[in-house]
Amino acid sequence: MNDNSIMTSMKSTFENNLFSTNKTLNLHGRLVDLRTPKVMGILNVTPDSFYDGNQHSTEAAILAHAEKMVREGATFIDVGGYSTRPGAEEIPVAEELKRVLSVIKGIRRNFPETFISIDTFRSEVARAAIEEGAHLINDVSGGSLDEKMFETVASLRVPYILMHMRGTPATMTQQTNYENLLKDIIDFFHQKINMLHQLGVKDIVVDPGFGFAKTVDQNFEILNHLEHFKILGKPILAGLSRKSMIWRSLSVTPDEALNGTTSLNTIALLKGAGILRVHDVKEAMEAVTLTNKVLDHKSVSSPLTTYH
């Protein structure tokens, strides 16, 4: 082997190690393999979410929607009882608990093979949800709004979705000034991941937080460079579903943003997303299937290269 071959081999090994990403999550002893991306269905049990607020206001409607998502292929159902849209009303912990715990219990009873994520930034709600049967915690604040969240995650020994956000849902739209957008967000993740590792938390998913303290242009910059987040060595979650970066860019409404969502989900998959968090499971599953067809052939030589 000549020197150039040795250097090429060393560079390849270095890059593979640098960007190697944990591809499994341990959920109560059951492993989820993210080498094939998975879909997380959104189940908001709030009256004021930006897209589906108050659509699922009865237990029967909630369970029917959960059944639809499971039937369409969702690996996870993300239950949220606190709207984080800009300007959303703050609610007491007791109200959030009332909204989510009965839903988690119902899903566990009716769909025992489905993994449940609790969408909350409050450690008290997170603990109660896990004790009721949820499997992982999805925190939009990345531990910034509840100082007890990280130690709670560590004590519960469950996977944690670490999202980037600045401020609060009420103030985040005024906090979009960054020195260097990608570097600032990756630095945030490095710091938070180090804190979690020191507490013994191993299963961490990173979510860049599309729409949270980012402008429309900043959201597209993050998506365009999503593969850079692989340097963190953690699975990447993309939460793009029907967000304003789509419907504002297309001059449509959130109700009309499904096609745009599928387009951006496909880009996210091509750039390394391991989980898609969506309102529309069927279409996301189709994007996963077709994108995998493309990626399965990326290492195959083009037929044109075999002829001379």
Residue 85 among the catalytic residues: no
Tally of helices (H runs) and strands (E runs) in the chain: 10, 10
Q: Which of 60, 238, 83 minimizes the C-alpha distance to 161?
A: 238
CA 170 to chain centre: 21
Rounded CA-CA distance 193/282 in Å is 32
Residue 277 among the catalytic residues: yes
The single residue of 234, 277, 293, 298 carrying the catalytic annotation is 277
Distances 16 to 12, 231, 233, 270, 305 between C-alpha atoms, Å: 6, 10, 11, 17, 26
The single residue of 23, 202, 243, 248 carrying the catalytic annotation is 243
> Which letter, b or e, does each residue of 127-143 get, where b requires 16 or more Cβ atoms within 10 Å of its Cβ?
bbbbebbbbbbbbbbbb
Tokens of 207: 């979510």
Rounded CA-CA distance 90/97 in Å is 13
> What count of other Cβ atoms lies within 10 Å of the Cβ of residue 115?
22
Tokens of 262: 């599928």
Exposure of 96 in the CB half-sphere (CA atoms within 13 A): 23
Longest Cα–Cα distance of the chain, Å, equals: 72
> What count of other Cβ atoms lies within 10 Å of the Cβ of residue 29?
5
- Catalytic positions are 243, 277
